[in-house]
Each structure stands twice: as C-alpha cells, then as structure tokens.
Amino acid sequence: MTENKPVTIRTFRQMKERKEKISMLTAYDFSTAKYIDESGIDSILIGDSLGMTILGYDTTLNVTIEDMLTFTKAVSKGVKRALVIADMPFLSYQVSKEQATLNAGKLIQAGAQAVKLEGASDFILDEISHLTQSGINVAGHIGFTPQYINTIGGYYIQGKSYENTLKLLDSAKRLEENGAFCVILEMVPEESAKFISENINIPTIGIGAGVFCDGQVLVIDDILGKFAGNIPKFVKQYANIKDIIKNAASSYNKEVKEKVFPLKENTFNLSDEEREKLEYSITK
Ligand code: KIV
C-alpha cells in the first residue's frame, strides 16, 4: 500500500486480510523519519532501542518517558503518511493502569498514533484493555522482549518448542482479545511465527521471526550499517553509513588542517566599500 492516504490501524487490519505485507522501521529523528516516510514505509516505530542506538546504553532499561517524548516529537514532525508508534519505556507502565494511561497519553500528545508495550501477563493485558478503551491504540510485543532481559537471562530465541509456541499463541490471542491492533514477534522460529500469524486476526510484525509474519520491522541504524554495537543475525544491512560518516569526517578533518575548507562558496564577504574601510583602519 504506497498510496498517499495516511496509514491507520484499520489499514493494518485490511492489509492482513488482503495478505499484503506491512513494512515497519524504527526512526528517532526528524530527517530520517521524513525520508523513511517518503519511501512509502507503512509504519515508523520510535523504539526504545534508541537507548542503544542513540544514547549508547547497553540495554533498553535506562530509557525514560522523557527520552521517548523528545524523540517521538521529533519523528512525528517528519511523518505525513506512516503510522507512528511509540514504545512505552521500562517503568512507564509497570506501576499501575493510571501511570500507563498518563504516559501513553503523553506519547500520543507528542505525536504518536499508537503505543507499544512488552509482555502479555494478566497485568499488562488489563492495562492494554484500559488503554484501548481510553482511545489509545496499542501494539503488543511478545517473543523476546528486551525490557525483560534480566528475567530471560540473555538474548534467547523464544517459542522453540511445540509447548512454548502454544504459549506464545495464547499470549497473542489474549493481546488481540484485549484490544491490541498488532503484535510484534521478536526472535521466534519461523514455523512458530507462521503458526501464530495464521491463528490470530491481528497482524504479526516479525523481527527475527521469518518471512511468514504479516509484516516486518527492523532497527534503522542496523539496516543502514550505522550502529556501533553487535548486529543480530536477523538483520539485513542495506547500506554502509558507518563508512560514509568515517570517510566524510576524515576528509573534513584533513581539509580543515590543510586550509582547503572553507571554500570561497562557503564564505560570507563584506562589500568592497566596507572591506576598504576595514583595510584602511588596519593600516593606519
Ligand atoms: O525498540 C525497538 O526498536 C523495538 C523493535 C525493534 C521491535 O522494539
């Protein structure tokens, strides 16, 4: 779906029905969001992965609601068509339904059209139900859930057995029943992701979950070859921005030292009259 009509959660549902794949990328700043939007991507996620890609943390656990609000405002200003989803960071929804509603509401006021929460415990499902009844669109996120890194104990693939796939399906169904409009499946074997996708009505958006999901999401810094940390196996790199940045910075550095930069066209000049006055005053 690359027509210019804004993408909504209704579009997501229709795309699943028509078996059209949904494309999603993360973005964290105005210009990148604008370019991604203009490329025809269906949805832009302000992921709390910005903790690693932008802020240099080891995990997403340090990201605050204030961080998310700053980047959500920047991204949403650049987007005209794609559905903008903002991650609810760790500790912004774990305390109570009231806390979740207040923080989700702030993200919506910052420009997002939906928020994303990780997990599918009874507590989270109750919050999702409350948020959707308050008019806030919610995306679920199951499989590997980075905010639970300390309980999972590492970057492990989830749903690796028949029993665990059934558990994931149960979570996905319960997310749907409680009002989630889509569910992110992270690091799940493709057979399990296919089974889940075929047995729920809302779209699954996979990251490291194979080709059978209803859509795909990746982190923009990973596909651009920009991220300075580890790149997971499920990433395909489409560009090498890291080398472009390094080469541009080193050429600039050299030209500054060699007085090649700034060129005449990068420079402002006085009028002849003003320059003459200046030259006169110097020689006096
Ligand atoms: O934080 C993030 O970027 C995410 C996705 C990659 C699913 O949650």
Band (113; pLDDT cuts 50, 70, 90): very high
Q: Residue 94 maps to which CATH number?
A: 3.20.20.60
Active-site annotation holder among 38, 176, 186, 255: 186
Domain check: are 235 and 251 in the same one? Answer: no
Domain check: are 149 and 60 in the same one? Answer: yes
d(CA 218, CA 203): 16
**Domain enclosing residue 15, as ranges:** 9-239
Judged against a pLDDT cut of 80, whether residue 186 lies above it is answered with: yes
Domain check: are 251 and 190 in the same one? Answer: no
Judged against a pLDDT cut of 60, whether residue 278 lies above it is answered with: yes
Domain check: are 146 and 59 in the same one? Answer: yes
Q: Which atom of ligand 1 is nearest to the CA of 116?
A: 8
Tell me which residue has its CA closest to atom 8 in ligand 1.
Answer: 47
Q: What is the pLDDT of residue 4?
A: 83
CA of 119 to the centre of ligand 1 (A): 13
How do residues 42-87 score in pLDDT, each as one tens digit? 999 999 999 999 999 999 999 999 999 999 999 999 999 999 999 9
**Is position 3 annotated as part of the catalytic site?**
no
Within a domain: 266:
yes
Number of folded domains that form the chain:
2
Domain check: are 69 and 194 in the same one? Answer: yes
Within a domain: 2:
no
Q: Cβ contacts of residue 219 below 8 Å, gap of 6+? A: 25, 26, 47, 49, 53, 227, 235
Tell me which residue has its CA closest to atom 4 in ligand 1.
Answer: 47
Last residue of a domain, one of 222, 239, 256: 239
Within a domain: 3:
no
Query: Using the 8-state DSSP alphabet, how is residue 111 labeled?
Result: T
Domain check: are 135 and 169 in the same one? Answer: yes
d(CA 206, CA 216): 5
Domain check: are 263 and 157 in the same one? Answer: no
How do residues 43-55 score in pLDDT, each as one tens digit? 999 999 999 999 9
Within a domain: 159:
yes
d(CA 50, CA 60): 8
Q: Is 158 in the pocket of ligand 1 (CB under 6 A)?
A: no
Tell me which residue has its CA closest to atom 2 in ligand 1.
Answer: 47
Q: Is 185 in the pocket of ligand 1 (CB under 6 A)?
A: no
Domain check: are 212 and 179 in the same one? Answer: yes
Token pair recorded at residue 228: 């300075």
Within a domain: 1:
no
Domain check: are 223 and 252 in the same one? Answer: no
Q: Which of 116, 142, 144, 216 for a ligand 1 pocket mutation test, highest count of atoms within 8 Å of Cβ?
A: 116
Domain check: are 218 and 272 in the same one? Answer: no
Average of per-residue pLDDT across 25-42:
98
If one compares 229 and 89, the residue with the highest pLDDT of the two is: 89
Within a domain: 137:
yes
Q: Is 87 in the pocket of ligand 1 (CB under 6 A)?
A: yes
Judged against a pLDDT cut of 80, whether residue 3 lies above it is answered with: no
Band (280; pLDDT cuts 50, 70, 90): confident
Judged against a pLDDT cut of 60, whether residue 2 lies above it is answered with: no
Last residue of a domain, one of 223, 239, 255: 239
CA of 47 to the centre of ligand 1 (A): 5
Contact call for residues 103 and 57 (beta carbons, < 8 A): no
Q: Which of 155, 213, 219 for a ligand 1 pocket mutation test, highest count of atoms within 8 Å of Cβ?
A: 219
Domain check: are 158 and 271 in the same one? Answer: no
Average of per-residue pLDDT across 253-280:
96
Average of per-residue pLDDT across 214-229:
96
Q: What is the pLDDT of residue 198?
A: 98
Q: Is 221 in the pocket of ligand 1 (CB under 6 A)?
A: no
Q: What is the pLDDT of residue 55?
A: 98
d(CA 140, CA 184): 6
CA of 151 to the centre of ligand 1 (A): 18
Within a domain: 68:
yes
Band (283; pLDDT cuts 50, 70, 90): low
- Average pLDDT over the chain reads 97
Within a domain: 84:
yes
Domain check: are 46 and 60 in the same one? Answer: yes
